[in-house]
Amino acid sequence: GAGVSQSPSNKVTEKGKDVELRCDPISGHTALYWYRQRLGQGLEFLIYFQGNSAPDKSGLPSDRFSAERTGESVSTLTIQRTQQEDSAVYLCASSLTSGDYNEQFFGPGTRLTVL
Amino acid sequence: AQSVSQHNHHVILSEAASLELGCNYSYGGTVNLFWYVQYPGQHLQLLLKYFSGDPLVKGIKGFEAEFIKSKFSFNLRKPSVQWSDTAEYFCAVSSNNDMRFGAGTRLTVKP
C-alpha cells in the first residue's frame, strides 16, 4: 500500500473490555513497531517485530498487552481487560528493516478511549 | 536505558521569527538522531536525520539540526518560521535497535 494504515481510527470501550487494534505496514517492510502516546507525553515503545524473529516485547506495560504479526504483514495489538490508563493514541510504524539507520513510517494511529 | 528530553513543551512564535527546539539525550555510545514532525491531522513524518559525518544536518522545509556530541544535544533550528510550520516536533535517538522518542514540542506560529 501507499502508507501504513491502522484501524479503527477511534475506539471507545468500557473498562474491562478487550480491544484489538490493527496495523497494515507498507508492503515489503520487514520491521513493524507499536508505540503508545498518552496525552502530553512522548511516544512510548511497546513492541517490535523483525521478519520471523522473536518480537522484542520489552516495552509492553503489562501482561494485558499482547501483539501478533502474520509473517511480514498485518499486526494486531490486543489489550485485555482495558483500564482507563490505557486511554491513548496507539501508533504503528514500519521500516524496511530494523536497525538504527532505517526511517520509520508511521500510520495515523488509533485513538483509544476507555470509559 | 537511554532517554530523550525536549525541554520546551509549547513554543509560540510569530511568522519570520527564528526557531530553536532543544533536544538532549542520555546515552554514551554511538547514536543516530532524528527529528520527526506531525502536522495537524497528519501522520508523523521524518524531518531530518543524523548518522555520521557533518554534524550540521539539513532537512526538508528549511529545517536544520546540529549534533553536538559533547553536549549530548541535537537541537532543531529554522531561521524564519512560517504559519505552516505549526506542528508537533519529536526528537528521537536510536542505538542498538532501541529507538526512544522525546515528549514532543508543540510549535504554534502566529500569522
Judged by DSSP in three states, A92 sits in: strand
Tally of structural domains, chain B: 1
pLDDT at A43: 85
C-alpha cell at A81: 481487560
Domains annotated for chain A, with CATH where assigned, are: 5-99 (2.60.40.10)
* B104 reaches A (C-beta below 8 A): yes
d(CA B107, CA A21): 30
Cβ <8 Å between A100 and B94: yes
Nearest CA distance, B4 vs chain A (angstrom): 9
Closest partner residue to A45 (CB to CB) among B44, B95, B99 is B99
- Contact check, Cβ <8 Å, A106/B6: no
A42-60 pLDDT, tens digit per residue, is 788 899 898 888 888 888 9
Look at residue B108 in the predicted model and tell me its pLDDT. 97
- Rounded to 10 degrees, what is the CA torsion of A111, A108, B15, B33? 110
Chain B, nearest residue to A39 by Cα: B103
**Is A3 close to B45, i.e. CB distance below 8 A?**
no
Burial class (CB in 10 A: 0-12, 13-18, 19+), A81: exposed
Distance CA A66, CA A69 (A): 11
Identify the domain containing residue B97 by its residue range: 3-110
Bridge partner residues of B26 (DSSP): B3
Chain A: closest CA distance from residue B81 (Å): 23
B1 vs A contacts (CB less than 8 Å)? none
Is-contact B106 B13, C-beta < 8 A?
Answer: no
CB-count burial class (<10 Å; 0-12, 13-18, 19+) for B11: middle
Question: pLDDT digit string (tens) for B38-90?
Answer: 998 888 999 999 988 999 999 989 999 999 999 999 999 999 999 999 999 99
Give the CATH number for residue B52.
2.60.40.10
The DSSP result for B22-71, as a single string, is: --EEE--S--EEEEEEE-TTS-EEEEEEE-SS-SEEE-GGG-EEEEEGGG
Q: How far, in Å, CA of B73 to CA of A107, rounded?
A: 28
Give the model's pLDDT for residue B39.
92
Contact A107 B43 (CB under 8 A): yes
Cα B90–Cα A76–Cα A14 angle in degrees, nearest 5: 85
What pLDDT shows up at residue B28? 75
From chain A, the residues in CB contact with B104 under 8 A are 42
Closest Cα partner for A55 from A66, A63, A44? A66
* Residue ranges in chain A modelled with pLDDT below 70: 1, 98-101
Phi and psi dihedrals of A4, rounded to 5? -80, 130
